[in-house]
Amino acid sequence: MSDPQPVYLSDYQPPAYRVTHTELTFDLDPAATRVKARLLIERNDQISDEAPLVLDGEQLKLISLAIDGNALTEADYQLDDNGLRIHTVPASFSLESEVEIAPSTNTALEGLYQSSGMYCTQCEAEGFRRITFYPDRPDVMATFTVTVIGDLQKEPILLANGNPVASGQLEGGRHFVKWEDPHPKPCYLFALVAGNLHKVEDHFTTMSGRDVTLQIWVEEENLDKTEHAMASLKRSMVWDEQTYGREYDLDLFMIVAVNDFNMGAMENKGLNIFNSAAVLTHPQTATDAAFQNVEGIVAHEYFHNWSGNRVTCRDWFQLSLKEGFTVFRDQCFSADTNSAPVKRIQDVSFFRTAQFAEDAGPTAHPIRPDHFIEITNFYTLTIYEKGAEVVRMLCNLVGWENFRRGSDAYFERFDGQAVTIEDFVECMAQASGEDLSQFMRWYSQAGTPEIDAYGEYDYVHSEYRLTLRQRTPATPGQPEKLPLHIPIRMGLVGTKSGQDLTLTLAGEKLGKDAVIHLRDDEHTFVFTNVAEAPVPSLLRDFSAPVKLNFPYSREELAFLLTHDSDGFNRWDAGQRLAMLALDDLIAAHRNGVEKVMDSRVTEAFRALLTGSTANKAVLSEMLTLPSEAYIAEQQPIVDVDAIHAAREFVRQSLALVLRAEFMAIFEANRTDEPYAPTPEQIAQRSLKNIALSYLMSIEDEKAVALCEEQVAADHNMTDVRHALTLLVHSDRDDLSAPALKAFGEKWAHDPLVMDQWFTIQVTRPQPDVLERVQFLMQQPAFSIKNPNKVRALIGAFAQNRVNFHRLDGKGYALLADVVIELNRLNPEIAARLVTPLTRWQRFDENRQSLMRAQLERIKKEPLSSNVYEVVEKALA
């Protein structure tokens, strides 16, 4: 077998044939579903009449094939593993085909498959080719009519895109429903669901007064877990009308929850399919974080109706066109709905940990890749989150009003079309008159730009000179980088006044908070009329996805922590201050020197704990230390144990000195109010629980009792999970073992709670975790075929830094075993799961060779193209 080959953006050719209308009939059966297709096809004008018709198709059993009703014989076409080529076809015709597929054995969860007994589909990116022969590419858009035939008892509910137009009973206990979707769409947005589903229904009146029926379809036992998703959906619909002027365009909008799903959710036209984890919530079963996640994902999928569905991508290299824009839209929605600064802090904190790591590793790629082997490997933090950061920069560069005009133009001009990233940026350039040509490099250059900054205050001339130098490190395939256009939002905070000073640059007054533009490799900005020595506050609100180094002293950081007018940068100053202390402690640990806590950090924490910060949500973030993963990102070579020890030392030192303050915060934020996922309550719970974490880091007897009490009170899952986690992660196995057992028994019937039960156990720092993972994999609640279970148990274990990176290499071997098994069952999940091993370059030599050995072992297997691509890059 030859190695899988990449496809290149530069090879793009418009389709030779269009499909104008698609008619499908599904006769459902677990092992032998029949799919009949009737496609109305037209040759594109510029194409010669000799051009063959090439259709994608994988794992399809061809039953029959005809053109305009005339059956084709084997001489008329050529069939292989990837599809079908019909040698000659008329300029305009109908193609009729029938194939057989087996949903019950489809463990890849792409195409038509079964999940908990129901049928569902996943077609993005290239899953439709496992359903029928078709030009499976997003620039072929057709209207669809779909008839679904199922068993009246087993599949009473039969759903597809659009509106139901007919239904009825058939012989043999079968029945059918016929659906029509009037909006032309690419086949990746096709969806079908069939099974014994139950619905919750609501209504929404659009801005032009149309009534839309909203339905959430779930298994019967989950009917009480849909309220929050429904409320989130309605808020999203209002928000998109008010913020972007976008109205929903069908009479029916459906969401379905399925248990087996590779990703979070999918924006199929009118029939969004969700991972049950991304839609179901209940105060007793879901945490605050889960509630917020559901709100964001419901919004994200809904927003795709315009940014993705009405206007879609020309080809999969343009994936960030829909994903970057839609993530930006859902981030803004969540910011408007909850606490804007906290949303930004959480997003950036995650971004700087996970996306920066991706950008620094062997799979680094631009937001618009120029080649790939397997597109499912490119649903990445770079395409999604960095893509969103770039759209955010665009929005800030042109200003919201121009951005909105550009967005209106984009939706109007390209409605019903499949377009490119240039088309989007061009709308923004036209709406604003800005030259965005240099800005386009953000789409083609991989890697995280680093800015080295330094500043000098000239007392004599009252000038502040700020020098910025940019550099983007080489990434695989991109040794040389060009300078980017980097917008830097900033202020100069007067050291005497503690206030933002007016910024005057080249004679122009910019106000107290302004954006400066770095376009060259290096530039010195000279601010004049600076009346007092300032501390610069740079990259406010994380105005660009870069690493910014400035030689701040700890005193300057402590100053910014209290005085910066930008909430994001106040938080960031605290993180930088903690990082400096952590760096010292990591070094001390490595050198075997006694660790000494930096009193400036302690005093900063004391001020936070006793001060009058009105915003509890922001305060919680400020009290959260950088994670071990984030600290690791800052180190040249990751020393797993030193990082863990240093961070624990800081937590314990703070808890010892500020015990009373943490206890006071805990007490002040307890409440018996009935649970509600409101920003106020969420902030209060999070503050209370952070205080409890610090107290538990020293296993304070009172804190242990409070944890037990909080678990026993069983008020809501956020509190229960937090306290149970603290107990399990402490050395009090005498208490945590029975608590875990009780929890596992109580929730054995609820897969989403059992996912949490797995994660709590395999993320603890104690050295028995590997054996626990092996034991839990044998439990009936675990299934390697369910992606949520794999993520909750194996994925979570691989994030357990001290245990995954054990020096005997057994953590790596365990992960490799699972990757090898999943490579056969679900290549998409296998390729994602292998990621931690691909980061071997970041570790010490011993771990490097252990990690590489496992990658080599995986490479010897007969690999799916998904895993092949990742492992190949990791070992290159």
Which residues between 117 and 146 bind ligand PHE (CB under 6 A)? 122, 124
For ligand PHE, which is the closer residue by CB, 820 or 829?
A: 829
Which residues between 80 and 109 bind Zn ion (CB under 5 A)? none
Residue 730: name its binding partner from ligand PHE, Zn ion, none (Cβ under 5 to 8 Å by kind).
none
Distance CA 218, CA 649 (A): 46
Q: Is 325 helix (H, G, I), strand (E, B) or coil?
A: helix
- Binding residue for ligand PHE (CB under 6 A) from 56, 323, 556, 869? 323
Residue 864: name its binding partner from Zn ion, ligand PHE, none (Cβ under 5 to 8 Å by kind).
none
For Zn ion, which is the closer residue by CB, 368 or 721?
A: 368
The reply to whether 861 belongs to the active site is no
Q: Is 300 in the site for ligand PHE (CB under 6 A)?
A: yes
For Zn ion, which is the closer residue by CB, 386 or 839?
A: 386
First to last CA, the chain: 20
The least distance separating Zn ion from the CB of residue 14, rounded to whole angstroms, comes to: 25
For ligand PHE, which is the closer residue by CB, 377 or 653?
A: 377
Calculated CA dihedral for residues 703, 705, 710, 712, nearest 10 degrees: 160
Binding characters for ligand PHE, 432-461, by CB under 6 A (x = yes): ------------------------------
The least distance separating Zn ion from the CB of residue 250, rounded to whole angstroms, comes to: 19
For Zn ion, which is the closer residue by CB, 379 or 559?
A: 379
Residue 379: name its binding partner from ligand PHE, Zn ion, none (Cβ under 5 to 8 Å by kind).
ligand PHE
DSSP state letters, 532-581: S-EEEEESTT--SSSEEE----HHHHHHHHHH-S-HHHHHHHHHHHHHHH
Distance CA 786, CA 741 (A): 23
Distances (CA, A) of 811 to 254, 267, 357, 817: 42, 36, 20, 10
Distance CA 496, CA 534 (A): 8
- Binding residue for ligand PHE (CB under 6 A) from 301, 330, 621, 639? 301
Binding characters for ligand PHE, 217-256, by CB under 6 A (x = yes): ----------------------------------------
Contacts of residue 291, Cβ cutoff 8 Å, sequence gap at least 6:
228, 281, 677, 682
The least distance separating ligand PHE from the CB of residue 232, rounded to whole angstroms, comes to: 15
The least distance separating ligand PHE from the CB of residue 413, rounded to whole angstroms, comes to: 23
Distance CA 528, CA 503 (A): 8
**In b/e form, how buried is each residue of 204-239, taking b as 16+ CB within 10 angstroms?**
beeeeeeebebbbbbbeebeebbebbbebbbbbbeb
**How many residues does the structure list for the chain?**
876
The least distance separating ligand PHE from the CB of residue 82, rounded to whole angstroms, comes to: 20
Name the residue among 341, 260, 236, 235 with its Cα closest to residue 785.
260
- Tokens 């088309």 belong to 423
**Three-state SS annotation for 809-848:** CHHHHHHHHHHHHHHHHCHHHHHHHCHHHHCHHHECHHHH
Q: Contact, 341 vs 349, CB < 8 A?
A: no
Distance CA 401, CA 407 (A): 10
Residue 4: strand pairing partners: none
For Zn ion, which is the closer residue by CB, 56 or 385?
A: 385
Which residues between 325 and 364 bind Zn ion (CB under 5 A)? 326
- Binding residue for ligand PHE (CB under 6 A) from 53, 158, 256, 265? 265
For ligand PHE, which is the closer residue by CB, 379 or 411?
A: 379
Q: Contact, 521 vs 454, CB < 8 A?
A: no
The least distance separating Zn ion from the CB of residue 742, rounded to whole angstroms, comes to: 39
Q: Is 375 in the site for ligand PHE (CB under 6 A)?
A: no
Q: Contact, 123 vs 81, CB < 8 A?
A: no
> Which span (63-71, 258-266, 347-355, 677-685) binds ligand PHE, by CB under 6 A?
258-266
Among the options 98, 126, 219, 301, which is catalytic? 301
Indicate the pairing of strand 118-122 with strand 192-195: antiparallel
- Binding residue for ligand PHE (CB under 6 A) from 55, 149, 255, 266? 266
- Binding residue for ligand PHE (CB under 6 A) from 379, 411, 414, 559? 379
Q: Contact, 815 vs 833, CB < 8 A?
A: yes
For 814, the token pair is 């365990």
Name the residue among 432, 426, 344, 427 with its Cα closest to residue 388.
344
Residue 122: name its binding partner from Zn ion, ligand PHE, none (Cβ under 5 to 8 Å by kind).
ligand PHE
Residue 263: name its binding partner from Zn ion, ligand PHE, none (Cβ under 5 to 8 Å by kind).
ligand PHE
Distance CA 791, CA 707 (A): 26
Residue 39: name its binding partner from Zn ion, ligand PHE, none (Cβ under 5 to 8 Å by kind).
none
> Which span (309-317, 322-330, 346-354, 559-567) binds Zn ion, by CB under 5 A?
322-330
For 557, the token pair is 């950081």
> Which span (161-169, 250-258, 319-327, 523-531) binds Zn ion, by CB under 5 A?
319-327
DSSP letter at 787 equals H
The least distance separating Zn ion from the CB of residue 304, rounded to whole angstroms, comes to: 6
For ligand PHE, which is the closer residue by CB, 278 or 539?
A: 278
- Tokens 């969004």 belong to 272
Residue 38: strand pairing partners: 23, 96
Q: Is 263 in the site for ligand PHE (CB under 6 A)?
A: yes
Contacts of residue 358, Cβ cutoff 8 Å, sequence gap at least 6:
364, 380, 381, 382
Q: Is 69 helix (H, G, I), strand (E, B) or coil?
A: coil
DSSP state letters, 72-91: P-GGGEEEETTEEEES---S
The least distance separating ligand PHE from the CB of residue 304, rounded to whole angstroms, comes to: 6
Q: Is 56 in the site for ligand PHE (CB under 6 A)?
A: no
The least distance separating Zn ion from the CB of residue 86, rounded to whole angstroms, comes to: 34
> Which span (31-39, 263-271, 414-422, 482-490) binds ligand PHE, by CB under 6 A?
263-271
Residue with nearest beta carbon to ligand PHE: 263
For ligand PHE, which is the closer residue by CB, 97 or 262?
A: 262
The least distance separating ligand PHE from the CB of residue 264, rounded to whole angstroms, comes to: 6
- Binding residue for ligand PHE (CB under 6 A) from 139, 181, 267, 500? 267
Name the residue among 134, 177, 173 with its Cα closest to residue 157.
177
Number of residues that bind ligand PHE (CB under 6 A): 11
> What is the set of active-site residues?
301
Q: Which residues bind ligand PHE (CB under 6 A)?
A: 122, 124, 262-263, 265-267, 300-301, 323, 379
